[in-house]
Structure formats: structure tokens, C-alpha cells
């Protein structure tokens, strides 16, 4: 009997939102490779290769560097459920949606939450965090978002690792929208626990969360008084699964996703980290120049703007931005993001992450925005935004 559900044929899309980002055909091909068993000796070699490449991308020597089965939020949860025991004091820096999610999870772990806040779009100074560490006494961890996807701000990490270490606290960093697009430098920055997601700057479909723990962090986890409340995300068991020579069954690795991540990491390393970071900066500068022509102003504080996620205030006089985003999708097949929380209706978020960060994509989204804005009756000089971007490229 023929199925009444038609064959899957999604429209072609240019993904320039806050994730997922565009995926290279090589990664899609890797996903259709026949499966191996997850304890097959050949698959164990593949896991080792993925771990090695993840260390290079995280810029760390940490032996415990793996991919958690689940999206970026699973990485976030794995970081916190292992580090935080009931009653532990944890300082969480909140400057947007993802900082707030960290705070929410600390509460669910039974941690004693100390929430630091700055207005959305701003970043934290070292002094502010130091003051909190001085005041609070014994603190288990400081958790902070490196690239706040809801605002487009990039939190500086210089000196933070040392500060935390001096106060006996672990540094937990969310690098979901930075890893593979912006330097994270886990070892140089003294980060103890760092996690990311596959679908942002690594340009792989969503489904895995790269995660690394410093030896110091892992020691603390192993010395816990209480069992980790999550069986699935207990890193001491997951460590035994990923440990070369051990491979104790814990859960079945999502084989096809591991293939995909392996191929996307190969692409990152073929390009090289520094050229890749430079590419993200170049296309960000071009799109921001074009957006300025359209009357959009940057949302994040000067000097702290993320090249992987370009957030701008919508142009003065645009009271309802949603129809413009809808037109981009319907007429041009282009996805961009709107605002979250207090920024709903106020900003656009244009992700130029991994494969999405290309000149042809920058020009396409600017031309589409020009047209969509002109249709609303605004005086938009045709080609002005595109030509501002081209000027940036010519420099
Ligand atoms: C996207 C994102 C997450 C969550 O990742 P999911 O893959 O959506 O679960 C966490 N933190 C930041 C900063 C993000 O941008």
C-alpha cells in the first residue's frame, strides 16, 4: 500500500539564522555512510579521531574531550550536573537567554545560585566577577557564556581562568556559538569545562555537543559526595566509554552523527583555525557595513561584537519586523533570526557561522533585505547595502 505521506522534499534554504548553519555536502555524504556497530574496532578508531580533532579545535590537551549525544543544551547540562553538587555555590553570569539557561540548570542541580547580571548586549568585566568571588567565599564554579547568541555579544575571557583558579573555583564556559568560528583557546584561557554544539560554527547538523573537562575538573567530579543526578550525562561513566582501551558500554553512540562530526572537523582543520577565524571576521565586517546602509545599528557593545552572529537593531520606523523575515523566507528562501525575550521585535540576528559565512551569502541576504524593506514603502536605495559590503571586501 502506498504511503499517504509524500516523499521528503524540503525547500532549499539559505540558513543565516542563529543555527543550524549550512552543512557542507561532504558532511551530508558522511551521514549516509553505512553503519558500524558502536563497539566495532573500526568505530573505536573513528571515536579516537574525533577526540583528537576536537582537542585541536578546542585548543586543549585535555584527555577528556568528547562529544555528548545531544544538542548544545545537553552539553550545557552535562557541564553543570557533573560539576555542581547540592548546596554548592555557583556564580552564573547572565547577559542573555543562554546565561539565563545556565542559571536555570544550576537551580535544578540544587546549587546555590549567585546570579550576576548586565544589560543584554553588554559583557562582564573581570573586576565585577572578582568582586563577586571575594564576597561569596567558597564558590564551586563560575559559569559564563562566551558567545551570547541572543544578543550578539562576545564575552572576553582573558584573565578569567586565573582569577577562578586563585579563588578555588572552576571556570565553565559555553562556547556553543564560538567554537570553530572564534578562538576559544581552552588551555590558554584556563577554562576547566567547555562545551559547544555541532550545528553552529562547526557546520554539522544538530545532534552532538563537544565537551572537554580539565584534569582538575574531572578530579573534582570523581571526588563527588553525591552521585550525579543524571545517569545519561554522568561523565565518569561516559569517560569510561570514550577511554581508549576501556570502551565500557554506556549508551549507543549516534553513529551517523559521529561520522558527520568527523567530516566537519576534517573540514575545519583543512581550512586551518586562524584562516577560519579571519573568514568569520571578514564576512561579518561586510554584512555589518551593508546593514548600516539599511539603517540597522549594532546591538552589542562596541568592541564586543560576535563575528559569527551579527545582531542589529531593526531600522528606525520598522514597527513590525516579523513580516520582513517572513518575506525573506518565502520570497528568497533565506532564514534569519529575530529577537528573543526583551529583544523580541527589536533585533535581527544574522548568523554567518561555518559554511554560512561566505561572500555570496552576505550579498544575497543584503539584497533580499533591501527588497523586502523597499516593499514596505521605505526609501531604500537599490544596491546600496550590497555595494557597501562589496566596498568592504575590496579593502
Ligand atoms: C544554541 C545555543 C545553545 C543551545 O544549543 P541547542 O543545540 O539549541 O541545544 C546553548 N548556548 C548557546 C550560547 C547557544 O547559542
Residue-wise pLDDT for 188-244, tens only, equals 999 999 999 999 999 999 999 999 999 999 999 999 999 999 999 999 999 888 887
150 — pLDDT class (breaks 50, 70, 90): very high
Reported as a single tens digit per residue, the pLDDT across 31-76 is 999 999 989 999 999 999 999 999 999 999 999 999 999 999 999 9
pLDDT digits (tens, 9 = 90+) for 321-347: 999 999 999 999 999 999 999 999 999
Ligand 1 centroid to Cα of residue 117, in Å, is: 19
Q: Where are the domains of the chain?
A: 25-269, 273-394
What's the rounded mean pLDDT across residues 365-370? Answer: 97
Measure 316 CA to ligand 1 centroid, in angstroms.
Answer: 29
What pLDDT sits at residue 1?
A: 64
Fold exhibited by the domain 25-269: 3.40.640
Question: Which pLDDT band, with edges at 50, 70 and 90, does 30 fall under?
Answer: very high
In this structure, the residue with its CA closest to atom 6 of ligand 1 is 72
SS (HEC) of the chain = CCCCCCCCCCCCCEECCCCCCCCCHHHHHHHCCCCCCCCCHHHHHHHHHHHHHHHHHHCCCCCCEEEEECCHHHHHHHHHHHHCCCCCEEEEEECCHHHHHHHHHHHHCCCEEEEEECCECECCCHHHHHHHHHHHCCCCEEEEECEECCCCEECCCCCHHHHHHHCCCEEEEECCCCCCCCCCCCCCCCCCEEECCCCCCCCCCCCEEEEEECHHHHHHHHCCCCCCCCCCCCHHHHHHHHCCCCCCCCCCCCHHHHHHHHHHHHHHHHHCHHHHHHHHHHHHHHHHHHHHHCCCEECCCCCCECCCEEEEECCCCCCCCHHHHHHHHHHHCEECEECCHHHCCCEEEEECCHHHCCHHHHHHHHHHHHHHHHHCCCCCCCCHHHHHHHHHHHC
Q: In percent, how much of the chain has pLDDT > 90?
A: 92
Q: Which CATH number fits domain 273-394: 3.40.50.2300, 3.90.1150.10, 3.40.50.1220, 3.40.50.1100?
A: 3.90.1150.10
- The pLDDT-based confidence of 120 (bands split at 50, 70, 90) is very high
Lowest mean pLDDT among 145-149, 242-246, 312-316: 242-246
- For ligand 1, mutation pick of 78, 144, 197 (most atoms within 8 Å of CB): 197
pTM of this structure: 0.97
pLDDT in tens, 89-113: 999 999 999 999 999 999 999 999 9
pLDDT category at 167 given cuts 50, 70, 90 is very high
Amino acid at each position: 500500500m502506498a504511503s499517504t505521506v509524500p516523499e521528503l522534499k524540503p525547500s532549499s534554504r539559505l540558513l543565516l539564522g542563529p543555527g543550524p548553519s549550512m552543512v557542507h555536502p561532504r558532511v551530508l555524504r558522511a551521514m549516509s555512510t553505512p553503519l558500524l556497530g558502536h563497539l566495532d574496532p573500526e568505530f573505536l578508531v573513528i571515536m579516537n579521531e574525533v577526540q583528537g580533532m576536537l582537542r585541536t579545535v578546542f585548543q586543549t590537551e585535555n584527555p577528556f574531550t568528547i562529544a555528548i549525544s545531544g544538542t548544545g543544551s545537553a552539553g550545557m547540562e552535562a557541564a553543570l550536573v557533573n560539576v555542581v553538587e547540592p548546596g554548592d555555590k555557583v556564580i552564573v553570569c547572565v547577559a542573555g537567554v543562554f546565561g539565563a539557561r545556565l542559571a536555570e540548570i544550576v537551580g535544578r542541580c540544587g546549587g546555590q545560585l549567585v546570579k550576576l547580571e548586565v544589560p543584554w548586549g553588554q559583557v562582564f568585566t573581570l573586576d565585577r566577577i572578582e568582586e563577586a568571588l571575594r564576597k561569596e567565599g567558597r564558590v564551586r564554579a563560575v559559569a559564563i557564556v562566551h558567545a551570547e547568541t541572543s544578543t550578539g555579544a562576545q564575552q572576553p575571557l582573558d584573565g578569567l581562568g586565573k582569577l577562578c583558579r586563585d579563588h578555588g573555583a572552576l571556570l565553565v564556559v559555553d562556547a556553543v556559538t564560538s567554537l570553530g568560528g572564534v578562538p576559544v583557546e581552552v588551555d590558554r584561557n584556563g577554562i576547566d569545562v567547555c562545551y559547544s554544539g555541532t550545528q553552529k560554527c562547526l557546520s554539522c547538523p544538530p545532534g552532538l555537543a563537544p565537551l572537554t573537562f580539565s584534569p582538575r575538573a574531572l578530579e573534582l567530579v570523581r571526588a563527588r559526595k553525591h552521585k550525579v543526578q543524571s545517569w545519561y550525562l554522568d561523565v565518569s561513566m561516559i569517560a569510561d566509554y570514550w577511554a581508549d582501551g576501556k570502551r565500557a558500554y554506556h549508551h549507543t553512540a549516534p553513529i551517523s552523527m559521529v561520522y558527520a562530526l568527523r567530516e566537519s572537523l576534517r573540514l575545519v582543520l583543512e581550512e586551518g583555525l586562524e584562516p577560519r577565524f579571519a573568514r568569520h571576521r571578514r564576512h561579518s565586517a561586510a554584512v555589518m557595513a551593508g546593514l548600516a546602509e539599511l539603517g540597522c545599528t549594532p546591538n552589542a557593545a562596541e568592541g564586543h561584537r560576535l563575528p559569527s552572529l551579527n545582531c542589529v537593531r531593526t531600522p528606525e520606523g520598522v514597527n513590525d519586523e516579523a513580516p520582513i523575515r517572513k518575506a525573506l523566507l518565502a520570497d528568497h528562501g533565506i532564514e534569519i533570526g529575530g529577537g528573543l525575550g526583551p529583544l523580541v521585535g527589536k533585533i535581527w540576528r544574522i548568523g554567518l557561522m561555518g559554511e554560512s559565512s561566505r561572500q555570496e551569502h552576505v550579498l544575497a541576504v543584503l539584497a533580499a533585505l533591501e527588497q523586502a524593506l523597499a516593499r514596505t514603502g521605505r526609501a531604500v536605495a537599490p544596491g546600496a547595502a550590497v555595494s557597501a559590503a562589496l566596498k568592504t571586501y575590496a579593502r
